[in-house]
Structures are given as C-alpha cells and as structure tokens.
Amino acid sequence: MAASEPGPRMQQASISEFFEKNKHFLGFDSLTRSIITAVKEAVDNSLDACEEARIPPVINIEIRRVQGRKDELILTAQDNGPGIPYASIDKAFGRLLFGSRFHTISQTRGQQGIGITGVVLYSQLTTGKHTHIISKVAEEGVAVHVDIGIDTKRNRALKSNHRRDVWLDEHGIDIPHGVMIEARMKARYQKGSKSVHQYLRMTSIVNPHAAISFRMLDEDGRVIEQASWPAVTEKLPAPVKEIQPHPHGVEIGTLQRMLRDSEQRRLSAFLQKNFSRVPSARAQQICEIAEISDKASPKRLKGEQVRALQAAFKRVKLMAPPTDCLSPIEDLLIKKGLAKAIDSKFVTTITRDPCVANGNPFQVEVGLLSGTDMPSDSPIEVLRFANRVPLMYQQGGCLLTKVIESVDWRRYGLEHPGGRGIPKGPVAILIHLASTHVQFTSEAKEAVSENEVVFDELRRALLEVGRSLKSHKRKSTQRAKAREKFELINDILPEIAAKASQILGREVPELTPVITKIMKAVFIEDEFTWDADEKRTQVNLVLFNYTARPRSYTLLAKWPERDGVEIVDDSHEGRREVYGLRKWKLDTLESGESVTLRFAITGLEKDEWTETEVFFRGAGDIIGATRLDEKMLDQMRREEEAGLLQITEPEFEEAIEAFTGVAERAQEADEVGAPEELDVEDEDDEEAVRQTTLEDGWGGGE
Amino acid sequence: MTERREHSREAVIEALHGVAAEMHDRMSKGESPTMSLPVRTKKNIQFDKRLGVYKYGRKRTVRDASSLGSARQLLRALHIIEFIEEMIESGKSSTLREMYYISEGWGNGKFGSQNESNNLAEDLEIVTRCLREDFRLRPEEDGSRIIGNMTFNELNRRGEWMRINARDDVGDSGYGVPYNVEAEKIELVEHDVDFIMAIETGGMFDRLVENGFDEDFRAGLIHLKGQPARSTRRIIKRMNEEWNLPVVVFLDGDPWSFRIYASIAYGAIKTAHISEYLATPSADYLGITADDIGAYDLPSDDLSPKDIEALKAELTDPRFSDGRWQQWI
C-alpha cells in the first residue's frame, strides 16, 4: 500500500466524515463553489491526460439545472483524451489520496484536495446518485459505460450498471477515444468573477493549446450562457521533467516520509540518492553538522535528529537545483491565450528565466493587456495562476496580488490613487508562477504565500511590462499627434489654399514653405506588416523632414535578436550596434523630403513583434523617436560583454526611468511651446533639451 | 438714434474677400494662413462711455493652421464665405440651421455641431463688420411676444405692409416678433402706453396678460423667453429710442436673471460687436433682489452647484464689477 493513502487509522473513521471536516480546502464548502471545483477537477484531469498522451485537448463542459429540484445541477464533462482502461476506472475515480512512494517532484497542476474522486463523493453525499462514466480507449472496439460510487466504509469504488457499448457523438459517429463523466450534485450556478465561466476562461488563457467549450442550460433545456475558446496553437506544453527534491527546499513532513520509505541503509547514501545536488562530500558534511553518524539507518532517525538534519541542510553550500524541469507557457503563447479571451489593442508579455527560491526552482511569467471594451474606472482585472491552474479565491491575501500592489502604476500611465491597492483602468494583468513547489497560504491552495525571492522576481517582470505599456502609450499619443499633423498638411491645408484662391480668383500658392513653417519638425512613422507568403515581418520606417533646413541622422531600432531570427532585405544596409539594436546611417535629408527605411525580419511568428523603439543620433529632435543616450548604450555594451544580456539591476532600471522621464518632459515642453512661439528657431528647442538632460546628470548628444 | 448700417452687396462681398485674402497673402509669403479676430470672452469686453454699452476690447486672437482644429476652422470660414457669396449673387437667403445641414457636404470643412457653425458666422460678422442679415443668414430663434396698445407695420411675405395693433388685432398669445425687426421689415407706427415691461418667464407674462395689467397700467408687455434673442433685444431698443419709452425688466431674481438683465442693459458678451444696436442702457431692473430675500425674510431655494458656478463666473464679469452687483451676487 502506498504510504500516503489513508492508512488503517483512516479506515475506521468514516470517509464521509473526513470529507465533511475538510470540505473547505477540498473546495466543496459552498453551493456556488462546489460546481466550480467539480468542473475544475474534471478539466485538470482531462488536460493532464491529454498532455501526457500528447493529444491536443478538446474539452466540452455542460451544466444543466434539474427539473423541480432546487439547487441541483448535472455536470457533464467530456474530453478527447486517451481514455481510461476499464481496470483502472475505480482507481481513477474511486480512491482517495493515493500517492507515490518515489519522492520525485515536478511542476504539475496538482490535485487540489482529492481530485475527481471528490466530485464522485460529493455527488453521492448530496444527491445519493452515482457518477456515470463513459470511457473509450483507442485500442478497444467499444466504450465502457459504468456508474461509479464510493463505499465510504471501505474507501473503495463501487461499480454498477457496467456495460460495453458503442459511444457515438451527436452526428452518430464513433468517438475514437476519450472520457465523459456525468455527475449530479447539490450546487448553485452563478455568473461573475467567481464562476464556472470565469474559471474556464482563465484556464483557456493559460492553455492556449486547448479547445474548451461551455454551455449552461436551464431546467427546460434552454441555453442561458455559452462560450467557447478555440485552441490557438498546436504546440503542446513540453512534458514536465521530474526531479529529486533539493535539500534547501524540503519540508520536515516530506523529509520524514522520505526517511521512512528509504531503501538505503546508510544516511549518507540516502542523502546522495534521494536529493539533487548532494555529492558524497556534501553528504558527509551534512551528517557532521547534524551530529548524526553517516552510517545511521534512515528509517530509525528520531524526531530531533530529523530536525537537526533539516537544519544542517541550510548550513551547507549546495549547487542550485536544475531548472530545466519547468514548463513555462512562454510569452508568445500567453499573448495568444490572452488575445482569444479578451479583445485587446495592446498586449505585452514576459517569461523570465528560471530561478531558485529556498531550493525550489520557479519561473514567473507576466502578461499585460489593454482591452478595447473594459471599464476604465474600475480596478484592473487580475488573473492569477499557479502551475497553469487559475486562482480565483483569496485574491487580497495572495503574494501575486501584493506584487502588483507594490508597483506605483502611476509611473506607467495607469490610474492608481495614492499608489496603493490595485490600479484602475481598462487593463488585465496575468501572473503565472510555475514551480515544482508552489507555497500556498493554506491547504485550500488559493493564495500564494510570501516569499522574498519570488516577490523580487515578479516585481522585475511587472516593471518590465509596465515599461512596455508606458512606451506604448507614449507612442500612441505621438502617433495620434503625428497623424493629425499629416491630415492637416495633406488634406486641410491644400483645401484652404484651393478654396481661398478660387474665391479670390488668384493663383494657388506653393505650399512647401508653408508646410515646413507649420510642422517645423522631423517625424518618423513605423509600419509593421505580416508577409504571409514569405512568413516574415515587413518593417517600414519613414522619416519626414518638415523643417526649413537639411537634416542628417543615424537611426537605431530595437529588434528581437536571437538565434534563428534575422534581418533581411535591408534597404539601407544597417549594422549591428549592440545586441538587439541595429543602426543605419542615413544620407542628408533636404527640407520637405522623406526617406523610407525598409527591412524584413524572418524567424518570427505573426503578431510576435509589432512595435519597436527607434532612437537617433543627430541634431534636432525627431517626433516618434528618442535621442540615443550614449551612457545607456555603453551600459548595454558592457552587459553584452559580460554575457548578461538582460538588464536587471534595479538601479539601472531606475536610471532608465529617469532618463526617459527627462526626454519626455523635454519633448512635451517642446510640443506645447511650439504653436504659440511662432518665431522660435529650432535650435533653441534643442538647446533646452540638452540642458535639461545635462542637469539631470545624463549627457545626451553626440 | 442708432440707425442700422447699410451694406451694399458689393461691400459685403468685398469684406468677406478680405478674410480670404488675409489667408491667401500669408500662404503666398510661405507663412501659415491666419484669420484675426477679437477675443470673444468676458475678459475682453469693456464699457464704451460714448455708447453707454459694453463692447469688445482690443485683445485679438489669431487663428492659424498650426493645429488640425484651427486649420479646420479656417477651411470652414472659407466655405461659409463661398456659400454667402452664392446666396448674395442669386438673391436667396437661408437659415443658420440650413447652412449647418448644407455644410454636411463640405467634406473636411463640415461642422461638428450647429453651435460651431453659428459661432463661426458670428466670427465673420465681427471680422467683416457686417450683420448676419447682410449675409442672408436667418436664425431659427423663437421670436418673442408683445401685448399692449402699440401699433406696428410689418412687411408680410406677400410684400404688403400690414398694420397690426398688439392689443386689438391679436389673441392672448400676443404679437409674434419676426427675426428681422429692422426698418425695412417693421415700422413702429404709434403707441398709447407709458412704459415697456420685459418679462423673463412665460408664466408671469401670461398672468399679467390675464389680469389686464397692460390696460390697467398702460404698459407694453414683452416676453423674453429666458435669455432674449437678438431680435427681442433689438425691438426693445427701438421702442425705447424711437418711442422714447422707459424700459423695465421684470426678473426672477436667480443668478441667471442677472445675466439676462445685463444682456439687455449692458450688451451680451457674444454679440458685443453690435451692442450699440441691441442694448438698452436705460433699462431698469425690476424684481426681487438678493437683498430682498434677507430683508423681507422671503422663502428661497438653496443654490444648486450650477447656480454657484454661474455666480462665480459673474463675479469676474466686467459688467457686474459695480459695487452693488458684487454685493448682490
């Protein structure tokens, strides 16, 4: 028998009593929550089974009110997974808390509570009904149809009405493989932020490879709510690798169980064989510090010795655990997942590199989306996930929420009264924490507990998406302003000239000098298009000189440089300046002229890259681009030489903030000042920018 | 007596061409086209001692093509000029509302709202020193009503002069004042009243009519219908000057009444360019004042936030700079 199953002691107490006592963390503590938990257990099972069998999951959920019965629902959940062989059905649906004696850990969805068995048990306890199962495996000709109940005295599955029969879909076609469960339970369906709909929506966001559909039927069969989220990628998540626990992350209870189950007779061997990153020298050292003989029998250690052993782990320097065991969603797929659930005009995502906190590998991913029809005066939508499982309850007490609250979102253009609490605006923030061991505040597994390392890592990720949001907002305002100006000179001004001339019967005046007087600036417009035939992103950067004199510039643009991604067909033969930054030296641009810089990027997916940041060197500002800060460039060069391609130092992040802040203020001052002071020469404005920049200690310029 | 300035067709067209020429000249010199006009806010009205009314001061604003919004205004002004010129040449006229609808076809020169087109027409009046009657543009304002023993000659739509007595020839709703009350349309023939009483609200006007106030007290009653239209102010002015009748303005005594009185006695901000034709400086304020409410312990409603806003705006309005007004407000 597996060690973590309810042992002989458990069998005497009634299993229903155990369920009753623990229903708050099993997720069945209220009528409205029970249906969500039931759906969740079914969906988790289906996703795990499909991923293991490498089948793109298709999951249908249907809930129906029972006629004439208050607060009674029938849940039907169907998947296209591999199916469960008849012999394993009772194990899968009818047994509580079965674990593994092999103490490996991995990033799994993890059963919340007792898994699908909880649904079977809850149905039985509240309605007396057994759960109907249909299962079909590809190898067998017909499906298994069976009702499952729980023998609460003996903790066993009760199978009844077993028959073998065909299983057809609504078109009368054989279903090749999959599982369908139908459970009837006391539960209440509600809409809103804590609902089945929201749970499935969130699940679909972090499982872009899954197709999920949902229907809610009234007691007379009328559809009262329905939704479907298609799969947006064929790429299944990488199979998670199992690793042994790292001594720095092991908890006392786990350690005790591991010692009890040990197959090694000596403690030093036990340490080397069961933990990652413990070579023999370190095992010896641990035993010495714990003052236990390295030959001691692991099974016979006393309570205080176990504690001494755990304390000793902390005092030994060990290599960090391997992090390749994690399976992040990856930023592009988060982008696609968010896009299918929420209409958006801007999405930015980031997957940070894996890290280790207290011996546990973890990885954070953050997505920020600015929606098209989300309310602008209510708090932003927070979407929390741990190992791809949506967290819907206890938002306030969760580390993931606290990190969002720790950022002053006013700096990134969101409304955030007093810089405290959740910011407001038409924005959704997604946070995904992937780890072999997510620490929750309680058994209910709804809120992630405090951890400094995870907190800092998440905060960095949030600041990064915050910066993208800010730069996007700045770009959209600039773009809107530029668009207005272009409309002015291309449409309105020629009409004024034509109409005035027509009224007076005079010649139409030459407008080029008028245009430079009105615009008195250099503009840059960027244009991104997806070339479906060539599978590449086409980028055009158009520079207009609407000043009275010639201008010459060097332009620099950020691009997603990495292996397999290349710039091709570059019209102006740019050169690499530093990692991720390309440079083009342009010929002098005469007054009133424009030049188009064209290039394409291969190796990217559609919508993967739709916005860049353009910098420039040269005299006079460019609306739509930022003057290159040479110090920032030097820093980037040093980072590249040191092999640190990511800019993570907080001081440096603040420095970038300070710098872009100055540039913006200068630019705003320039834009505001321009229409009033018609006679001011361009040079004065430049001088002003340079001075402001110098005062703040950031020397801009050539 | 203030006679309306007569403008010949040629003079009006020439004045309008001046606006287009300012733009054309600037563009020919390689500059942004402009249209300059006086600032039309309370900050730029001042008392004209000679005329006894408030007129625009010297502050001028230059509208140029540096922003999309103001460039559009210039284009719209040109469209209006062209439209007026066509009407003058073909001898037609049009209402401001019609012009607004016609502007739908002006592409980039179309208006966002009728308020915008009305304002721009007023801008053109100011710049060219013409009146909208010269432009063949009529308002669709509700004319006011007059009751009392006064006789008018009105040129009707068949081109015949009609003699109307505002007591004997009209029903209880009174004589309806047309939008054009200039001499070519209306003659003030004779009267047998001692004074003109202009009344803010319809309820009070009807009450006085019902009680035979006009006959008992030998009064000419005129209903203002809230903020009075140009034609209402103009006919009050004419009756005051041509018949030499004193004018009293009977008001409710709320913050808005002060403005109504000011527009009759001192001149309105929006039409300060023609205050001398519209304002009646000798008009007296009749009705409850702020002092009365205190002095006679009258029941009163609390001021709404909008009322308070209106009062605050009045405190900085030069027309209410006098000590008595400041105290009332």
Q: What is the DSSP string of B201-241?
A: -HHHHHHHHHTTHHHHTTEEEEE--SS--HHHHHHHHHHHH
Ranges for all domains in chain B classified under CATH 1.10.10.10: 9-138
Residues of A in contact with B33 (CB under 8 A): 493, 496-497, 500, 514
Top-confidence range, A86-95, A502-511, B249-258? A502-511
Q: What is the mean pLDDT of residues B135-148?
A: 80
Top-confidence range, A108-117, A223-232, A616-625, A649-658? A223-232
- The closest alpha carbon to A526, from A555, A548, A554, A551, belongs to A555
Higher pLDDT, A673 or A567: A567
B132 SS3 class: coil
Length of chain B in residues, anyone?
329
Higher pLDDT, B323 or B194: B194
Q: What is the mean pLDDT of residues A250-274?
A: 89
Q: Evaluate if residue B153 carries a pLDDT over 70.
A: yes
Q: Evaluate if residue A113 carries a pLDDT over 70.
A: no
Residues of B in contact with A490 (CB under 8 A): none
Out of B101, B175, B179, B277, pick the active-site residue.
B101
For residue range B280-293, list pLDDT tens digits in order.
888 888 877 777 77
Q: Which of A61-65, A283-287, A430-434, B93-97 bottoms out in mean pLDDT, i.e. has the lowest?
A: B93-97
Across A662-698, b (16+ Cβ under 10 Å) vs e yields bbeebbeebbeebeeeeeeebeebbeebeebbeeeeb
A→B contacts (Cβ < 8 Å), by residue, are 484-485, 487-488, 491-493, 495-497, 499-504, 506, 509-511, 513-514, 517-518, 674-675, 678
Q: Which two structure tokens, joined as six digits, stand for B305?
A: 């936030």
Instruction: For residue A393, give Cα distances in angstroms to A111, A290, A396, A438, A446.
Output: 16, 41, 9, 16, 6
pLDDT computed for residue A112 by the predictor:
47
Q: What is the ipTM of this complex?
A: 0.74
For residue range A616-643, list pLDDT tens digits in order.
999 888 888 888 888 888 888 887 777 6
A602 SS3 class: strand
Q: Does the annotation count B101 as an active-site position?
A: yes
The CATH T-level fold of domain A344-469 is: Ribosomal Protein S5; domain 2 (3.30.230)
Q: Evaluate if residue A8 carries a pLDDT over 50.
A: no
For residue range B18-42, list pLDDT tens digits in order.
889 999 999 999 888 988 888 877 7
Q: Evaluate if residue A454 carries a pLDDT over 80.
A: yes
pLDDT computed for residue B1 by the predictor:
43
Q: Evaluate if residue A362 carries a pLDDT over 60.
A: yes
> In chain A, which residue's Cα lies nearest the Cα of B32?
A514
Is A495 close to B107, i.e. CB distance below 8 A?
A: yes
- CB of A584 closer than 8 Å to CB of A597: yes
Out of 3.40.50.300, 3.40.1580.10, 3.30.465.10, 3.40.1360.10, select the CATH number for domain B145-328: 3.40.1360.10
Bridge partners, B174 (sequence order)? none
pLDDT computed for residue A106 by the predictor:
67
Share of chain A above pLDDT 70, in %: 87
pLDDT computed for residue A96 by the predictor:
58
B46 SS3 class: strand
pLDDT computed for residue A99 by the predictor:
38
Is A499 close to B21, i.e. CB distance below 8 A?
A: no
For residue range B300-311, list pLDDT tens digits in order.
777 777 788 888
pLDDT computed for residue B202 by the predictor:
83
* Residue A525, φ and ψ in degrees, nearest 5: -120, 135
Q: What is the mean pLDDT of residues B97-108?
A: 87
Strands A381-386 and A344-351: unpaired
* Residue B253, φ and ψ in degrees, nearest 5: 90, 20
pLDDT computed for residue A695 by the predictor:
33
pLDDT computed for residue A242 by the predictor:
79
pLDDT computed for residue A314 by the predictor:
87
Q: Evaluate if residue A513 carries a pLDDT over 50.
A: yes
Residue extents of the structural domains in chain A = 8-229, 247-315, 344-469, 511-695
For residue range A83-111, list pLDDT tens digits in order.
998 888 887 887 654 433 445 566 666 54
Strands A581-585 and A594-602: unpaired
Strands B195-199 and B219-223: parallel
For residue range A290-342, list pLDDT tens digits in order.
999 999 999 999 889 999 999 999 888 888 888 778 888 888 888 888 888 88
**CATH number listed for the domain at residues A8-229:** 3.30.565.10
Average pLDDT, chain A: 83
Instruction: For residue B73, give Cα distances in angstroms to A194, A250, B66, B112.
Output: 52, 73, 11, 11
**CATH number listed for the domain at residues A247-315:** 1.10.8.50
Distance of alpha carbon A690 from alpha carbon A666, whole angstroms: 9
The CATH T-level fold of domain B9-138 is: Arc Repressor Mutant, subunit A (1.10.10)
pLDDT computed for residue A105 by the predictor:
65
Is B65 close to A518, i.e. CB distance below 8 A?
A: yes
- The closest alpha carbon to A552, from A595, A522, A587, belongs to A587
Domain A511-695's class?
mainly beta
Ranges for all domains in chain B classified under CATH 3.40.1360.10: 145-328
Distance of alpha carbon A74 from alpha carbon A667, whole angstroms: 62
Place of tokens 């016979």: A300
Share of chain B above pLDDT 90, in %: 11
pLDDT computed for residue A14 by the predictor:
66
pLDDT computed for residue A439 by the predictor:
85
Average pLDDT, chain B: 84
Q: At what angle do helices A303-315 and A252-260 cross, to 10 degrees?
A: 120
Torsion of CA B236, B242, B247, B251, to 10 degrees: 0
Q: What is the DSSP string of A552-593?
A: --EEEEE---BTTBEEES-TT--EEEETTEEEEEPPPB-TT-
- CB of A367 closer than 8 Å to CB of A338: yes
Q: Evaluate if residue A76 carries a pLDDT over 70.
A: yes
Nearest to B30 among A484, A517, A674 (CB): A517
Single-letter code of the amino acid located at B90: S
Q: At what angle do helices A493-504 and B9-28 cross, to 10 degrees?
A: 140
Q: Which two structure tokens, joined as six digits, stand for A311?
A: 């304390």
pLDDT computed for residue A697 by the predictor:
32
Distance of alpha carbon B23 from alpha carbon B25, whole angstroms: 6
